Structure 1
Amino acid sequence: MKLKPFALLLTSLFPLASQAAEPQVDRYVVTFPQGDHVEYQGAYTANFPNGLPVGVGSGLQFIRKDGDALVFATVTDRGPNADSPKSGKKESKIFANPKFTPLLMTIRVAGGKAEATDAHALHDENGPISGLPLPEGLIGATNEIALGDTLQQLSSDKRGLDTEGITPDGKGGYWLCDEYGPFIINIDANGKILKKYGPQAEQGEQGVAGGLPNIIKWRQANRGFEGITRMPDGRIIAAVQSTLDIDGKTKNTAQFTRLVSFNPATGKTEMYGYPIDVDVYKKAKDAKIGDIVALDDNRLLLIEQGGDKNKVMRNLVYVVDLSQASDLSSFDKEKAPEFDDAAQLKARGIKLAQKKEVVDLRKLGWQQEKAEGMTLIDNQTIAVINDNDFGLQPVLENPEDDAKKADQYEVDGKGHLTRDGKEVATKISLKPLEEPESQNELWVIKLPEALK
């Protein structure tokens, strides 16, 4: 479904020049003509009589033009899940359909419509994978508790993936990135996992996959790799969504988040610091990367987003130049640069990447919380998409008078909410998200000037 074409117009003494200098936007809501949906037969089936909407848009990759049609590849994340209270000191998540398998899909934009079809379940030699978290104790585990919709504890899965980005591998398949490990995964065109890389385990550690720098194991839970792109020279760049939390001490103050470079041909890795807009946020951890897209061997587009000091969402696209950025790997041996402020980084000779704003999505009318997928159509046109979180949200039912927020409770993993160790009558139900949050919006944006 195509929304009304949108162009932001500025009041100016020279209106024609002003109009020519503004991005032009075609906006679509992604539909599923084959009736795709996520099966749901849980405790709140009455709230979702047709199942759950598919949540594409965690990553986006332009593939080709078919006449006037635009064809994209996209992926889902780990599946329909919702926040729930902690279990002791551990985070927990409600998985509405624990059997969900992350999907690779195609989006075709033509005739005023954006339609998602051709779903392929991600799988390996043992069959379809799941979106459940890794077992506790493995390097990269989030240590969050997986719960069913009645708050009963579920099993973890060392094959679980939370996919968040997609880029071509140059051989007909794709590279994906993941928030758990965090992992970089090579798949074929049918979604079969060919290779998987993750933080290299050190002595005394156990990992699912290796080959990537060990330090990225310190990603915040659910803040692993959020974007991935393949550079023209074949290197893969994966973006850690937010600041690393090394030894639980750096997430609130680090000046940057990491861009990890991986050469599949040689196994060589490097890491660069992307400077977040630290002064805009209450804490550095509030900044999030949405996606990245290669422009050439040294530059890429990057979405930075998050709630500012006034809790106002921002979604900005930057051009990021890595040509003068330091490889952080050598500095990590002395002390991780995440512990340094701006002056200390300079004193150590650490140069972060350079950045320049390209477009502010909020100024164009973007209302979704996050833009999670971005791709380059040509040197003047980009596309962005959100993830609709499978159209569900958790709702606190029958809260106690002095505890109206979910984080004032705990879960016991046996189906109950508790306060101060005592079971309460309060429950968490699952209900549909309202529009526009429940929709997948895809925007095609023509920029005023070519990306040079």
Structure 2
Amino acid sequence: MKLKPLALLALSLFPLLSQAAEPLVNRYVVTFPQGDRVAYTGTYASQFPDGLPVGVGSGLQFLRKEGNDLIFATVTDRGPNADSPKAGKKDSKIFASPKFTPLLMTLRVGDGKALATDAHPLHDDQGPVSGLPLPEGLIGATNEVALDDKLMQLASDKRGLDTEGITPDGKGGYWLCDEYGPFIVNIDASGKILKKYGPQAEQGEQGVAGGLPNIIKWRQANRGFEGITRMPDGRIIAAVQSTLDIDGKSKNSALFTRLVSIDPATGKTAMYGYPIDADVYKKAKDAKIGDIVALDDHRILLLEQGGDKNKVMRNLVYVVDLSQATDLSGFDKEQAPEFNDAQQLKSRGIRLAEKKEVLDLRKLGWQQEKAEGMTLIDSQTIAVINDNDFGLQPVLDNPDDYEVDGKGHLTRDGKTVETKIGLKPLEKPQSLNELWVIKLPESLK
């Protein structure tokens, strides 16, 4: 078929109209010019002659440009830890550096480098806080047994934090979110804790902090708040990482996870349901939120990730519209909506947030398991970062065959064995802190 001259002219003027523009990615590996390392002198110190790498990247917030450099704030999580066998019916973790304090740090990106500097330990009036779990019996306790690298049980810490997100407070400081409580924490620029919110204790309960809806105490262990953002109107929204497990019965089937809003000026709270890609996962609990970022007073960017039914990792960025989403607060006393299917939600008048995919990190070559920090640089540019888990991993074949007794021993079939759990460095790329700056084909505003 012969093309008419007008059609030929159109093709010459607009040759790319039929081809979707691709995102442009600048990739960096975070380094520490001041030689920042986590001191480690424990049993397996020979594996880490220079100490442990600092694991920044649990949260990310763009601050400003300085010349051609991009300046970010970032935060670590609770510190170097590794999975270990069950302690009876409880999970356990090895804390390689039990005295580690979560850190607020600055990232400077430019000239092909991403440099982490200016570490500020999180602290309160009593001094530096730790990353150790809360005592059993408190709202926010994970009920996991904390061990040192000799498998001796460590004391829990009522002030412990597992920080996972960061956003400015508009006053020179930041709001952080945490996986334990889950907590929302206000700090100043030096890392001093000014205010802490957590699930409000009900009769017979004891909590570390209050002011947030009680129902979020049902977060899965170590799946508390994973992302936080400050809306232009001043509200703070924090994302529960995965589906709530209410009375131990809802995590595998709930169709959504919760976005919790609080206005620090009034204390008013609200909750919205973010619809996970439920059909993609073997179980609903496998979906995880990485981070959230405000676009305006009604829309946020949200990073959803997790292994699908074939155990293939997915890392997708969505625009999420909350303008028509129902506040779930008034529905929980009758029956938590986590127990409802789609038709039941509709019959109760509950609308979940609406979402639209804007980016698939895997299609761009992302190899890390998770992206845990995300921020907006401008209306067309985002940045994402992973957490390298301080570059260590446990060494033990068939860990499910063993238990720990908290007294330095591994047991098997109820008998003490000579087997030891080792610690060794993670291999690349998992050991790296990777930061990507991504220019999107279209504006998000």
1:145 maps to 145
Question: 1:280-295 counterparts in 2 under 5 A?
Answer: 280-295=280-295
> 2:34 aligns to what SS in structure 1?
coil
> 1:198 aligns to what SS in structure 2?
strand
**Which structure 2 segments of 5+ residues have no match?**
1-13
TM-score normalised according to structure 2 size: 0.96
> 1:316 aligns to what SS in structure 2?
strand
Question: Residue 385 of structure 2 aligns to which amino acid in structure 1?
Answer: I
Query: How many Å separate the matches in 2 of 1:322 and 1:429?
Result: 46
1:3 maps to none
Query: How many Å separate the matches in 2 of 1:431 and 1:145?
Result: 21
1:196 maps to 196
1:10 maps to none
1:269 maps to 269
The alpha-carbon deviation at position 409 of structure 1 amounts to 1.2
Query: How many Å separate the matches in 2 of 1:94 and 1:435?
Result: 22
Post-superposition Cα deviations, 1:105-162, rounded to whole Å, max 9, x if no partner, equal 0000011100000000000000000000000000111111000011110000000000
> 1:314 aligns to what SS in structure 2?
strand
Query: How many Å separate the matches in 1 of 2:276 and 2:334?
Result: 23
Matched, 1:104 2:97: no
Question: Residue 79 of structure 1 aligns to which amino acid in structure 2?
Answer: G
1:413 maps to 406
Question: 1:172-191 counterparts in 2 under 5 A?
Answer: 172-191=172-191
Matched, 1:436 2:420: no
Question: 1:93-132 counterparts in 2 under 5 A?
Answer: 93-132=93-132
Matched, 1:72 2:72: yes
The alpha-carbon deviation at position 17 of structure 1 amounts to 5.0
Query: How many Å separate the matches in 2 of 1:59 and 1:270?
Result: 23
1:401 maps to none
> 1:57 aligns to what SS in structure 2?
strand
Query: How many Å separate the matches in 2 of 1:405 and 1:298?
Result: 47
Query: How many Å separate the matches in 2 of 1:18 and 1:361?
Result: 22
Query: How many Å separate the matches in 1 of 2:114 and 2:19?
Result: 26
The alpha-carbon deviation at position 349 of structure 1 amounts to 1.0
**Paired residues, what number?**
432
> 1:431 aligns to what SS in structure 2?
strand
1:360 maps to 360
1:342–1:110 Cα change, 3 Å = same
Which of 433, 440, 448 is the matching residue for 2:441?
Answer: 448
> 2:274 aligns to what SS in structure 1?
strand
Question: Residue 448 of structure 1 aligns to which amino acid in structure 2?
Answer: P
Query: How many Å separate the matches in 2 of 1:222 and 1:333?
Result: 25
Matched, 1:330 2:323: no
1:400 maps to none
Question: Residue 427 of structure 1 aligns to which amino acid in structure 2?
Answer: K
Query: How many Å separate the matches in 1 of 2:355 and 2:22?
Result: 20
> 2:250 aligns to what SS in structure 1?
coil
> 2:194 aligns to what SS in structure 1?
strand
Post-superposition Cα deviations, 1:188-214, rounded to whole Å, max 9, x if no partner, equal 000000000000000000000000000
Matched, 1:423 2:416: yes
2:39 maps to 39
**Which structure 1 segments of 5+ residues have no match?**
1-13, 397-403
Question: Residue 442 of structure 1 aligns to which amino acid in structure 2?
Answer: L
1:231 maps to 231
Query: How many Å separate the matches in 2 of 1:23 and 1:384?
Result: 13
The alpha-carbon deviation at position 407 of structure 1 amounts to 1.8
2:318 maps to 318
Query: How many Å separate the matches in 2 of 1:27 and 1:201?
Result: 44
Query: How many Å separate the matches in 2 of 1:361 and 1:86?
Result: 34
Query: How many Å separate the matches in 2 of 1:433 and 1:355?
Result: 35
Matched, 1:54 2:62: no
1:11 maps to none
1:399 maps to none
Question: Residue 166 of structure 1 aligns to which amino acid in structure 2?
Answer: I
Query: How many Å separate the matches in 1 of 2:321 and 2:225?
Result: 19
Post-superposition Cα deviations, 1:88-119, rounded to whole Å, max 9, x if no partner, equal 11111100000000000000001110000000
Question: Residue 416 of structure 1 aligns to which amino acid in structure 2?
Answer: H
Query: How many Å separate the matches in 2 of 1:19 and 1:238?
Result: 37
The alpha-carbon deviation at position 61 of structure 1 amounts to 0.1
1:252 maps to 252
Larger Rg computed on CA atoms: 2
Q: More displaced, 318-327 or 18-27? A: 18-27
The alpha-carbon deviation at position 187 of structure 1 amounts to 0.1
2:300 maps to 300
The alpha-carbon deviation at position 333 of structure 1 amounts to 1.5
RMSD of aligned residue pairs (Cα, Å): 1.0
> 1:430 aligns to what SS in structure 2?
strand
2:4 maps to none
Percent of residue pairs bearing the same amino acid type: 85
Query: How many Å separate the matches in 1 of 2:197 and 2:15?
Result: 52
Post-superposition Cα deviations, 1:239-278, rounded to whole Å, max 9, x if no partner, equal 0000000000000000000000000000000000000000
Query: How many Å separate the matches in 1 of 2:72 and 2:375?
Result: 9
2:9 maps to none
The alpha-carbon deviation at position 331 of structure 1 amounts to 0.6
Query: How many Å separate the matches in 2 of 1:232 and 1:100?
Result: 34
Query: How many Å separate the matches in 1 of 2:283 and 2:18?
Result: 36
> 2:52 aligns to what SS in structure 1?
coil
Post-superposition Cα deviations, 1:206-230, rounded to whole Å, max 9, x if no partner, equal 0000000000000000000000000
1:8 maps to none
1:330–1:35 Cα change, 3 Å = same
The alpha-carbon deviation at position 18 of structure 1 amounts to 7.0
Q: More displaced, 249-258 or 422-431? A: 422-431
The alpha-carbon deviation at position 425 of structure 1 amounts to 2.1
Post-superposition Cα deviations, 1:347-388, rounded to whole Å, max 9, x if no partner, equal 111100000001000000000000000000000000000000
The alpha-carbon deviation at position 34 of structure 1 amounts to 0.3
Query: How many Å separate the matches in 1 of 2:263 and 2:400?
Result: 42
Question: Residue 319 of structure 1 aligns to which amino acid in structure 2?
Answer: V
The alpha-carbon deviation at position 16 of structure 1 amounts to 4.6
1:345 maps to 345
